[in-house]
Structure 1
């Protein structure tokens, strides 16, 4: 497990942290609430925001939480309990380096105190110090491998604290446990979003078919032609006007209403 703590770190001994059992209880309560709130109808944005809001309860001294979606094309902060930290993460994306990007790249946790990586991530360190951040912990959210798919990186969850002594290896384990459970929420939201989009697409297709059929009926009555001939008239008009077939049919019906 990556720790990234340098010699001379201001991080205290593990005994100075809150009782391990109490910390585990806090995480267990957050996981219970995460599971209880799991629904079959939730957008991905809403799910990620809920994960962030519950993650802040999973680890003591966590003052803010962000969820970053990191891809080869683009990275962005999809959820945050404190919108001011979006600017902090934007500093990472612009520079192409920082703890959440490192966690996404290596698929391992990154935990450190501000000041420990000034040479490695100067842009992030400067922005974090200005925002009052003193410690952070980034953990990848990974969908486990299955029989028909490889493990997939879904995002990176980062907790921030204004206390330099905030996080230790036990907290790292707790957050990894939380992110494992959060995968269910995220994948459920992704499925619901895909299903919703498919339904909308089907509804639009059905609606378009109905409009086109009505327009064909009008043309058949006006020109005393067959259904195929009426459809060909619509297609030719669509091509001439460089307009979608449904829009041509809709315009024809609208013109009849106005006449």
Structure 2
């Protein structure tokens, strides 16, 4: 029969395995999904399954100092978040501002955040665990867990949540950098294509009217303004019409 120490070790290993599995699943989502709110919704649902005692989860972000919920598991979760925002106090705000994990039971919450604690108790929430979540200057805040139990979270839960958030921060930063780079490449490709088409149209105008490149470009710009069409679209249409084989 396993002793207490062995049982505790098995529990820690199992909990680590759960967190690792959640992170693996999140990596698969990041490969397929670009919408951050959708990714964060998956984060909330994963972390409730990975951290025992967590009944609800949400992600809070601060925009110009104003908190808002980016994702949540259900409407009760959103109500708890809004209770914090309305009171101007609570674990998610403390975690976001202090960059420190907040693990608080109901008795301590009454002393630290009386207005929020009263509202949360009315919603059936008695334990709180929030970890700071910093992706970039646009997205930073906290990942929040709520429990209906009065002592719903242990030190191990706090350590696992911190491990989880640290890992997803890195993954999300990389994903957002990759997305920005991909968008920049797409924009550059479109710009180069537009330039090539405009140069073709300009060359045709120069040849037909025997005018300079600057004059040809001016003619195209003026026509695009008259017809209220993008210069690239006008140039493409002009090239297509000019180079179309005769019937």
Q: TM-score, normalised by structure 2?
A: 0.72
Describe the shift of the 1:97–1:216 C-alpha distance in structure 2 as closer, same or farther (beyond 3 A): farther
Describe the shift of the 1:220–1:161 C-alpha distance in structure 2 as closer, same or farther (beyond 3 A): same
Compute the displacement of 1:83 (Å): 4.7
Alignment gaps of 5+ in structure 1:
1-14, 144-152
SS at 2:198 equivalent? helix
**Which residue, 23, 35, 47 being the options, matches 1:34?**
23
Partner of 1:141: 133
Compute the displacement of 1:139 (Å): 1.1
Contact 1:27-1:178 within 8 A present in 2 as well: no
Contact 2:19-2:160 within 8 A present in 1 as well: no
Alignment gaps of 5+ in structure 2:
242-247
Moved over 6 A (4+): 255-258
Describe the shift of the 1:165–1:206 C-alpha distance in structure 2 as closer, same or farther (beyond 3 A): same
- How many pairs does the alignment contain? 229
Name the larger-Rg structure.
2
Describe the shift of the 1:223–1:249 C-alpha distance in structure 2 as closer, same or farther (beyond 3 A): farther
Partner of 1:81: 73
**Structure with the larger RCO, 1 or 2 (CA within 8 Å, 6+ apart):** 1
Describe the shift of the 1:253–1:61 C-alpha distance in structure 2 as closer, same or farther (beyond 3 A): same
Deviations 1:148-169 (A, max 9, x none): xxxxx94411111122221122
Q: Distance in 2 between matches of 1:45 and 1:155?
A: 13
Describe the shift of the 1:192–1:234 C-alpha distance in structure 2 as closer, same or farther (beyond 3 A): same
Partner of 1:25: 14
Q: Distance in 2 between matches of 1:86 and 1:162?
A: 15
Partner of 1:58: 50
